[in-house]
Structure 1
Amino acid sequence: MYIYVFEPRAGRRDALLAELRGVRMSPIVVEEAFFASDLSILNRKGSDTRAILIGETPHLAEHIRAIRAAGCRNPVLVMRDFKNSRDASESLNQGADDVMVSPIKGIEIISRVNSIIRRSYGHAAESVTVGEVTAYFDGRDPQVCGERLRLSRREHAIFQHLALNANRVISKAAIYDAVYGMDDTQPFDKVIDVYICKLRKKIGTAADSGHQYIETVYGRGYKFGTADDDHAEDPAGDIVEMPRGRQAEHAASARA
């Protein structure tokens, strides 16, 4: 899980990054300029689950307003040095989702982020069950027919995004952005097809029915659901087109 981190104090930042990496989060350190940049890119499906963690700064309220003014619904968590009800209230009123008081443990951050994300996708509970598969939103591997299905880190990230959008089609570009979008070295997005095949095989092998639960909706993307859910989705579902830059890459690759 990617998370943007703004903490101007180097000592605190290093300790925070270690905490985040310890719970398998992928922190991306940002500077003040981040909040003055084009934040609308975070509105893309796959990028909207990246939390933004903001430390103490005189410009805290401005940063929160900039994020929300860009239409971003990303989880925004504020880190305070001391408990202060008035300051916490102001941050929440500006659009922050949560306020935490240092020192902060990584396990608490990831739990709070997961809680915000699942509610934003309409999941009140910690899990969603689709047929024989139970997907958890707290970092645990899914269960199939009551047994844990062990997934690699990449498989888990892709499956998590499918589960958040259970019974809805999600484009391959959105999955790619959620898993690889901020990597310095991005693989060609055919890698998503490879991981989808691995997930299908694992789920189908573990399921008593043999059903693989991840459907390819040609020309649109993938859907995590049961065979009975084929007509349950809104035809105008939550589909995100591939960004133009990526389209150009695909076109060039196809001609090669």
Structure 2
Amino acid sequence: MHIYLYEPRADRLNGLMAELRSAKMKPVPIQATFFRGELGLLNRGGHEDRPFLIAENPELMEQITALRTAGCSNPIMVMRDFRNSRDTAAALDAGADDDLVIPVKSIELKARINSILRRSHGHSAESIEVGEVIAYFDGRDPEVSGATVKLSRREHAIFQQLVLNAGRVVSKGSIYDAVYGMSEDQPFDKVIDVYICKIRKKIDQAAESGHNYIETVHGRGYKFSAAADEMGRVGGM
């Protein structure tokens, strides 16, 4: 999971970077000038799920407003050294999704981010059931026909993009950007096809019905969905 991190204090930045990496997140440090750039580019497919973690600073309100004015739906989380109810209320009213007092452990931060993301995609629970598949948003491997299906870290990241958008077509470019977009060693995008093939094989082999849950929609991308006679089983748990 990529996360944009704004912390102007170098000593705090290094500690936060280490904490986020310990939870398998990929922090991308940004500068104040980032908020004065072309923020509309964040609205491209695959970028809208990347959260912002912004330290309290004199320009905080302007930064939040700039993101929301540009149409960015990315989760925004504010970090503070001390609780201040008035400032917290102002940040939330301006468009922030959460307001935290540091230090905060990465395991809690990741859970808060996952909660915001799944609600933004219309899922209120910690998991979604699609036919025989139970997909979790907290990092657990999915269950298919009652059996746990082991996914690698990269497979899990791609699988989550599919299940967050269950029933809808997700473009390969959107998946690529969500998983590799800010990586320094971006692989050729054909790698998405390879991972999709691996995930599809694992899910289909475990599904007792034999249904192919991941459909390739030629020229558009991929769709994760239940069989037509199981569509009534799609929903949160």
TM-score, normalised on structure 2? 0.94
- Structure 2: gaps of 5 or more residues: 233-237
Deviation at 1:14, TM superposition (A): 1.3
Aligned residues of 1:176 and 1:189 also touching (Cα < 8 A): yes
State the alpha-carbon separation in 2 of the partners of residues 173 and 186 from structure 1. Answer: 13
Structure 1: gaps of 5 or more residues: 233-256
Pairing of 1:136-151 with structure 2 (within 5 A): 136-151=136-151
Report the secondary structure of 1:113's partner residue. Answer: helix
> Residues of 1 paired with 2:201 and 2:208: CA distance?
13
Distance 1:229 1:11 in 2: 56
| Aligned residue identity for 2:211 | H
Q: Which residue in 2 is equivalent to 1:252?
A: none
Q: C-alpha deviations, 1:111-144, integer Å up to 9, x for none?
A: 1111111111111111111111111112211111
C-alpha contact (below 8 Å) 1:203/1:211 kept by paired residues: no
Three-state SS of the structure 2 residue aligned to 1:167 is: coil
Structure 1 segments of 4+ aligned residues over 6 angstroms from their partners:
229-232
Task: State the shift of 1:70 in Å.
Answer: 0.7
Structure 2 match to 1:181 = 181
Instruction: State the AA in 1 paired with 2:83.
Output: K
**Residue identity matched to 1:82:** F
Percent identity (aligned): 62
Q: Give the letter for the 2:176 counterpart.
A: Y
Q: TM-score, normalised by structure 1?
A: 0.87
Relative to structure 1, is the Cα distance of residues 136 and 37 closer, same or farther in structure 2, using a 3 angstrom cutoff? same
CA contact (8 A) 1:167 1:229 kept: no
1:228 counterpart = 2:222: no
- 1:144 and 1:95, CA in 2 relative to 1: closer, same or farther beyond 3 A? same
> Counterparts of 1:71-90 in structure 2 under 5 Å?
71-90=71-90
Q: 1:227/1:125 Cα in 2 relative to 1: closer, same or farther (>3 Å)?
A: same
Residue in 2 aligned with 1:59?
59
CA contact (8 A) 2:213 2:224 kept: yes
Matched residue of 2:99: which SS? strand
1:1-256 aligned at under 5 Å gives the runs 1-228=1-228
Q: Which amino acid aligns with 2:213?
A: Y
Please tell me the root mean square deviation across aligned C-alpha atoms, in Å.
Answer: 1.5
